[in-house]
Amino acid sequence: MSTKDPLIESVTPKTKWYVVLRPFDGTNGKFVRGEVVDTTNWRHTNTLETRRYIARFPQGGKLPKEELQKDGTMRRVIVPSKTVPDTANKPE
């Protein structure tokens, strides 16, 4: 019996780009939360996704530029927006 949901499969973006949700050590070094990584040559992408270490990069999302980090590594990191408009709690 298959555990895959056809609806989820049809709306999930097909991409090699993933976002790191939880930090972990890999064969290519340490990965940090918010880092956007290319998983083309990764062997255990499905396992990491199932265990919620990584998630697929959103369809139509703007890929961040690779920048030098404080630890001396080059990474693509999503910086959360500090000014998120709160439209859900506005009175009508």
pLDDT, tens digit (0-9, with 9 covering 90-100), for 55-68 = 999 888 889 999 99
Does 37 score more than 90 pLDDT? yes
Residue 81 falls within a domain, yes or no? no
Cβ(33)–Cβ(80) under 8 Å? no
Q: Which domain does 67 fall in, by range?
A: 12-75
Residue 25 falls within a domain, yes or no? yes
User: Exposed, middle or buried: residue 32 (CB in 10 Å: 0-12, 13-18, 19+)?
Assistant: middle
pLDDT for the residue numbered 1: 54
% residues pLDDT > 90 (the chain): 50
In this prediction the pTM is 0.73
Does 39 score more than 80 pLDDT? yes
Averaged confidence pLDDT in the chain = 84
Residue 5 falls within a domain, yes or no? no
Residue 84 falls within a domain, yes or no? no
Residue 4 falls within a domain, yes or no? no
Does 16 score more than 80 pLDDT? yes
Residue 64 falls within a domain, yes or no? yes
Residue 88 falls within a domain, yes or no? no
- Our count of domains for the chain comes to 1
Cβ(10)–Cβ(4) under 8 Å? no
Residue 91 falls within a domain, yes or no? no
